[in-house]
Chain A
């Protein structure tokens, strides 16, 4: 019992300490870094499961850091939404640790300790963001996550990686500034940094211009973090040039945690009433998201580099999630949350499959994918599952998230968004099927099977299985997500 009450902080502290130990371990044996990361991430996964189990059965956990009662001290709150994000982060982190072994040896042989240090730091900060109940603490973790992400992009071998990382740094810092200003404004008028406390004090201040400004700063700042079109320009370079493990992390988790922060701030600190009626934030957000969905897909069609294509596709997919937030009703929130989960798995699977292909054949251009389905049957099978799921074909996961989003759009009377969601599926189909067609339906002279190492295929496959499972067993997830949605609204 006691252990479970302390888990909210343990799940952040353990990876943080591991991260600090990593350079020292790396001094002795470079190989040990991997094993340490693996063990830690496994431990975190167990923590996450315990937390999820507790939250579902017993309700929220509140943990006061240093036993300072809120609003004076920092509070950690694990509710359903946090538990959902924690299990997602820890699962993907664990899976990607397995994947990273070959990837790191191949892409950054000398920098392994540095890589794993930052990797654990990133995991720790992502977990911190989703478990904290303190606004400033959230900002701090968001910055740690961003800083480690900038560096992880930059460890790539090529010069492009540096440029990508620099762009990311500039845009990310701008976003962070906006968020910080938003927090400052809220602190100014409410005198508190505890989320629940601010939420209590805000309703009487809804006419204050400072609060309005704060809300807008939050939305713009977080829109940069989640790469909402047209604030996405940093994303393709950063995601394309990072090591594959990190591409998965950036697309699958870092963006999602930004979306989490947006949901937390808009729904929990502000209220739906405020950002739908007092300010037209919801309206603007939905339209930007709709443009992002279409523009991201069109950009993706134009790409030749597989990782850039997937990166642009992320821009489009983040549009779905933002659209769900903007529509702000029960089905659309469920859709958003479901898409956070599905997209993490799908894009994770696609990036890791792309990583495996690059690892084995050193090809990035999709035009060179001819016959790959016969040369790498397992990798491409996983890739196809995720790709078809991306297109939104039933019974894969993304079909249901898109269905819920479309139902949400209809429920709020904006059928145009439902139409955009459906049409964008066609655009997705355009770029994914052109890859599948090349990979499977071209004749080759030599059809020798040469697969990527098992440590890369296995994680890719587990992620692909997730794409199927979240579709077929959606009915198990749905009540849980519905609970979250009702608690947010």
Chain B
């Protein structure tokens, strides 16, 4: 039996890190208290969100309305399978990233750490807000606060290059928001409501042209953060941010909130039926498959490790969008699985990149000769994640890609299946040389074993193993992914 239960927990989940942000600023003079606050907030947040999981698995949803602006427009939270998936993912990885951040920021003796932790907490509040939004407007509000709270993190270095990256970030995301808000207002004028409904809330009798324009605007609006080409170029330049930021925000929270928006639009605003009728899903699928291939090609020629990872993210995000755009069950499951798995694998890769930087101060792939012998644990985890990215069994990347492939076959779109296969080859082409270089190149003399501090090492081992374990035992994620369409 399905139930829509009233619960304040989603609000609390959002508020926890907001309160943490305030407290972090208050205790800015005391380093240890500040960092203790970050970690405890992340743990409390994770506990609150996990406590909602049983309800969702039982097929219920949790609902809380804050207030109504106009009839049909309210600011409200609803936790459903898709939302809790994103919520658990982001809040769990926040715990690890907080621990990692402490190691990273302290090792590098970074400046303005209070600002860093405070805005990080704010960004997480916003990401959870995005995950639990019950209406398009609520989602937009948190989507915007996410943009603004990550800006100071992108500009953290305060160099001219960082400032220009920040400017580019704002120009892209704010322009996207303008298009998005316009689309939201138009949908309100068409439907008279903005509440997400499984199967879409736009009336079926709307004129096709209007719907097409609306869909394009939504995709542009959410496409900026999802880094669809040609809206992607903010992401590689945002890699100037400290590595934990790139890891959690630019591989998980921010970019995934864009994709999350795309999923919401496809399944909860338009509904798969309406899109199938108009054939827009296939258009989107082909549009993003361009990104999958081209971004991989771009990744091949990057020498900066983080930039290569960023292009890989761009390509992988489009996998998710592709799966969702196929509008069939397997595609959706594949997309949602990849949503989770890509986060785990990419955060591992970024954690490794950060660890390498902290130990050796090297950022470029060409300088990484023999690093695997110096930092064997880090590079092994890197290798596991790489295997996942390339979709080798038994890592988790294999499962999601398998479902994506099934989806393309079900949708009878053979060219898309070929795109997936080619991109896998490209993944191998841009990831394996790094591993090869790390383990087999460089002088044969003995390297001195030197790993990153434990604060950094433990999180990256955890995420590395998790991406392996979830590949072998994907039950939990499966159950949630299955529930999204069935709900």
- Chain A residues in the interface with B (C-beta under 8 A): 331, 388, 391, 393-395, 399-400, 403, 406-407, 410-411, 415, 418-419, 422-423, 425-426, 429, 433, 437, 440-443, 474-475, 478
**Interchain CB contact under 8 A, A441 and B158:** yes
Which B residue sits closest to A424, measured CB to CB?
B178
Which A residue sits closest to B181, measured CB to CB?
A422
Neighbouring A residues of B148 by C-beta, 8 Å: 388, 393
Neighbouring B residues of A433 by C-beta, 8 Å: 167, 170
Closest 10 CB pairs of A and B: A475-B67, A394-B141, A441-B155, A410-B189, A422-B178, A441-B158, A394-B144, A443-B158, A406-B185, A393-B144
Check if B163 is an interface residue, CB within 8 A of chain A: yes
Could you tell me the distance in whole angstroms from the C-beta of A329 to the nearest C-beta in chain B? 12
- Chain B residues in the interface with A (C-beta under 8 A): 66-70, 137, 140-141, 144-145, 148, 152, 155, 158-159, 162-163, 166-167, 170, 174-175, 178, 181-182, 185-186, 188-189
Neighbouring B residues of A423 by C-beta, 8 Å: 178
**Interchain CB contact under 8 A, B174 and A415:** no
A-B contact sample (17 more), CB < 8 A, given A429-B170, A437-B155: A388-B148, A399-B144, A400-B69, A403-B137, A403-B185, A422-B181, A422-B182, A423-B178, A433-B170, A440-B155, A441-B152, A441-B166, A443-B158, A443-B159, A474-B67, A475-B67, A475-B68
**Interchain CB contact under 8 A, A395 and B174:** no
Q: List 27 A-B contacts (CB under 8 A).
A: A388-B148, A391-B174, A393-B148, A394-B144, A394-B145, A403-B69, A403-B181, A403-B185, A406-B181, A406-B182, A406-B185, A407-B70, A407-B185, A407-B189, A418-B182, A422-B181, A422-B182, A426-B174, A426-B175, A437-B166, A437-B167, A440-B152, A441-B158, A441-B163, A443-B159, A475-B66, A478-B69
Which of B70, B167, B178, B186 is within 8 Å of A331, CB to CB?
A: B70
Neighbouring A residues of B175 by C-beta, 8 Å: 426
Neighbouring B residues of A442 by C-beta, 8 Å: 158, 163
Neighbouring A residues of B141 by C-beta, 8 Å: 394-395, 399
- Assembled-state Cα–Cα distance A393/B70 (Å): 19
Which B residue sits closest to A391, measured CB to CB?
B174
Could you tell me the distance in whole angstroms from the C-beta of B114 to the nearest C-beta in chain A? 11
Could you tell me the distance in whole angstroms from the C-beta of B110 to the nearest C-beta in chain A? 13
> Given A441-B155, A441-B158, A443-B158: A415 and B178 within 8 A (CB)?
no
Could you tell me the distance in whole angstroms from the C-beta of B421 to the nearest C-beta in chain A? 41
**Interchain CB contact under 8 A, A419 and B145:** no
> Given A433-B170, A440-B152, A441-B163: A410 and B158 within 8 A (CB)?
no
Could you tell me the distance in whole angstroms from the C-beta of B157 to the nearest C-beta in chain A? 9
- Assembled-state Cα–Cα distance A343/B83 (Å): 36
Neighbouring B residues of A399 by C-beta, 8 Å: 141, 144
- Assembled-state Cα–Cα distance A102/B82 (Å): 55
- Assembled-state Cα–Cα distance A298/B343 (Å): 41
Which A residue sits closest to B162, measured CB to CB?
A441
Which A residue sits closest to B74, measured CB to CB?
A475
Which of A415, A419, A437, A478 has the most C-beta atoms of chain B within 10 angstroms of its own C-beta?
Answer: A437
Which of B70, B145, B162 is within 8 Å of A395, CB to CB?
A: B145
